[in-house]
């Protein structure tokens, strides 16, 4: 699994019936009628899954059908403003399609200085970070193993593809920044492969397998919402999921030493602040990752606003450039 291989700089009614029990007589209010002297009130709407009571048991008096009694007062149905009582929508995880799209845009703003992440399948460049070629939608690197994994998957699905011939060289340069056996045509062939839907799908699948799914799974286990899951994802993208001191696992351990996650009874905001602090520390250990704006002026901004569900609209900055989505 790659350890550290990411970038430091941008690159190119139901009405409610009221049962009245008075002096042993059970009455049911008739539907509201138009009486000039009777005030009207909006009808109560409540979540029946929350307010529904158990069915009447034997021996318990039940309401008789409504009848016309001249002496019985009528009352209009009571209505409440649902805006005051409606509960917020359940939080969604980062794997919700709309949230995942936001995650892809956020990462692309940091990795490619663009929200158009789907334009990055063809991208390939050596950015001088010691990881060799960096390419594709998530920055697969020739020196960190994930590019090798990607080309192997692509070749298993489509033998004889334009990149298959580079597999021996990719195995040799893994762990280095060397281009041996790749130049002079690898970059051009990568761009050619990126026009193949099978290669695009392979990039999507390897992104999910190596980075996205582990981040969402670990985040759910820690009891954090979409924002926290994104913080995990972005950390794995940059630092990898290895076992060195600046990997995602080590960043999380540093955070756990300072705060408990919600799954352990902790406060989500407190824990995420601890995680982002640990992330910044890890970034500062590597000159290539020392610009921390993807945390300071993006993720930390959302956290300060209490946007734990990563709900749009979102405004952030990376490397001084402003972005908006939603």
CB 268 within 8 A of CB 228: yes
Q: Where are the beta strands (DSSP E) in 49-197?
A: 124-125, 134-135, 140-141
Q: Catalytic residue among 68, 81, 96, 111, which?
A: 111
What's the rounded Cα separation, in Å, for the pair 160 and 58? 76
Annotation marks residue 47 as catalytic: no
Give the helix/strand (H/E) hosting 49.
helix 48-51
DSSP class of 117: G
Q: Catalytic residue among 47, 101, 126, 129, which?
A: 129
What's the rounded Cα separation, in Å, for the pair 46 and 26? 24
Annotation marks residue 152 as catalytic: no
What's the rounded Cα separation, in Å, for the pair 82 and 65? 28
Dmax over Cα atoms in the chain, in whole Å?
A: 98
- Is the Cα dihedral 185, 191, 196, 201 positive or negative? positive
Active-site residue set: 111, 129
């Amino acid at each position: 699994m790659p350890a550290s291989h990411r970038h430091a700089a941008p690159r190119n009614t139901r009405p409610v019936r009221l049962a009245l029990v008075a002096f042993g007589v059970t009455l049911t209010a008739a539907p509201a009628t138009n009486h000039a002297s009777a005030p009207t009130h909006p009808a109560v709407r409540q979540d029946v899954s929350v307010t529904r009571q158990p069915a009447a048991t034997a021996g318990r008096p039940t309401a008789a059908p409504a009848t016309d009694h001249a002496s019985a007062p009528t009352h209009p149905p009571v209505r409440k403003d649902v805006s005051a009582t409606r509960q917020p929508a359940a939080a969604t995880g980062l794997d919700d399609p709309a949230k995942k799209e936001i995650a892809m845009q956020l990462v692309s703003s940091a990795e490619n200085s663009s929200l158009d992440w789907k334009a990055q399948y063809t991208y390939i460049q050596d950015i001088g970070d010691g990881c060799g070629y960096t390419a594709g939608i998530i920055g697969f690197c020739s020196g960190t193993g994930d590019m090798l994994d990607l080309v192997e998957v692509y070749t298993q699905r489509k033998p004889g593809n334009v990149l298959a011939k580079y597999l021996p060289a990719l195995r040799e340069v893994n762990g280095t920044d060397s281009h041996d056996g790749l130049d002079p045509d690898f970059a051009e062939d990568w761009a050619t492969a990126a026009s193949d839907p099978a290669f695009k799908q392979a990039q999507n699948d390897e992104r999910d397998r190596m980075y996205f799914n582990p981040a969402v799974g670990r985040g759910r286990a820690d009891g954090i919402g979409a924002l926290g899951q994104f913080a995990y994802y972005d950390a794995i993208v940059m630092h990898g999921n290895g076992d060195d001191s600046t990997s995602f696992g080590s960043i999380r351990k540093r955070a756990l030493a300072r705060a408990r996650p919600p799954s352990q009874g902790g406060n989500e905001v407190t824990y995420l602040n601890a995680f982002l602090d640990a992330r910044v520390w890890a970034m500062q250990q590597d000159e290539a990752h020392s610009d921390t704006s993807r945390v300071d002026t993006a993720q930390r901004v959302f956290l300060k606003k209490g946007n734990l569900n990563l709900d749009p609209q979102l405004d952030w900055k990376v490397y001084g450039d402003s972005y908006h989505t939603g």
